[in-house]
Amino acid sequence: MTDSPLQAYSANQKKPKKKKLVGALFLAIAIQVALVFTTIFVVVLVPTEKEDPQFTAKKTIYLPQRKLEHKMAVAEFQQAAKSPMQMEKIQVSRMTPSQLPQLPEVPPMDFSPQPPDTVSPVGSTLFGSAGIGGMMQGLVGESSSISFLGIEDSASRVLIVVDVSASVVEAMTEANMPVTEIKNETIRLIRELNANTLFGIIQHSRQYQTFQSSLIPATANNKEAAIRWMNQEFRTSGTLRGLKYEGEDGVGAVLEAAFDMEPEVIFLLSDGSYQRTSPGGRGYQNLSWNELEDRIKDRQSQLAEEARIHTIGFAVDPEDAKGFSRLAKKNNGKYRSFD
């Protein structure tokens, strides 16, 4: 039996469609294979550039432990500042004693310039006119209890004025008080002075000579210097050549020099008979007690506090004894006579 024309046409139409499906399948597979190779080439065969490693950290470092410790310290400080300090109350178990304990003894000051071993008239003048000697004029010392040839006093500025003329040396011997004993008594007085007591020595006939031209502290060094001066320079022979006061000699000139030292106490030793060189330099004349008293009164008025003048006489005649005693009385001093 043969096919009809319609069936033959349908069979011819189905054969080409089967070929198209097979071709499409192969095309799809080829495309996928191409995609796979492309991917492998891009991912595997083409390497990427590697970047260097970098270290990064946060800007704020958080330290919880140290922050906690700081907060605790601040809180403790604030707590201490707010709470006031507790102080125990002072309780008295018994009354304090009414008398205070005695103060310890303070050693005396021992400051002074070093004096020269020997004193010349020129050196004494220079020492007293400037520098340390000038400053000593206004220096206030410490009082010492004084006992000299039977006269007792207390003073901070002491001056001893001794007449060593020939007549006085003879009068001292006559009164059983030789001039060497006067020297020893003067040395004893110097040794007993307090360190801050100011002292001076003048020996005279008509002219005079001073240990220093101003009063100086009685320090150990100054005492030793004064004792050396007494042993080496103090006249016992009845003769003395020394200074004049503005061209004048005699006891009036000597007392002018004495008052320049501004003493508090003066011990004046003599036989009570005073002479001076006459005007023109020829001969001698007696100095009256009235004139001497007037000169002393004038110089006393120039002092801040008048000096006490103690007079000590040796074999003094009755008239001079009255003048010597009156001179001491008018100047708040004492008179002692050795006959």
* CATH code, domain carrying 215: 3.40.50.410
User: Contact at 8 Å (CB) between 155 and 142?
Assistant: no
Alpha helix ranges (H) inside 41-158: 64-82, 121-129, 131-136
User: Are β-strands 198-204 and 157-163 bridged in parallel, bridged antiparallel, or unpaired?
Assistant: parallel
pLDDT per position as a tens digit, 293-308: 999 999 999 999 999 9
On whether residue 2 sits in a domain, the answer given is no
pLDDT per position as a tens digit, 13-65: 555 556 667 777 778 888 888 887 777 766 655 556 666 777 676 665 555 66
State residue 300's pLDDT score: 97
Q: How many domains does the chain have?
A: 1
Provide the percentage of residues in the chain whose pLDDT is more than 70. Answer: 70
pLDDT per position as a tens digit, 156-195: 999 999 999 999 999 999 999 999 999 999 999 999 999 9
On whether residue 307 sits in a domain, the answer given is yes
On whether residue 128 sits in a domain, the answer given is yes
Taking all residues of the chain, what is their mean pLDDT, rounded to a whole number? Answer: 81
Helix (H) or strand (E) holding 30: helix 5-40
On whether residue 84 sits in a domain, the answer given is no
On whether residue 333 sits in a domain, the answer given is yes
pLDDT at 137 over 70: no
pLDDT per position as a tens digit, 212-247: 999 999 999 999 999 999 999 999 988 898 999 988
On whether residue 286 sits in a domain, the answer given is yes
pTM: 0.60
On whether residue 92 sits in a domain, the answer given is no
> Which one has a higher pLDDT value, 54 or 108?
54
Residue 199 is part of which domain span?
121-338
On whether residue 55 sits in a domain, the answer given is no
State residue 128's pLDDT score: 43
Q: In this structure, what are the phi and psi dihedrals at residue 159, rounded to the nearest 5 degrees?
A: -135, 130
Which residue's structure tokens are 């006559």? 174
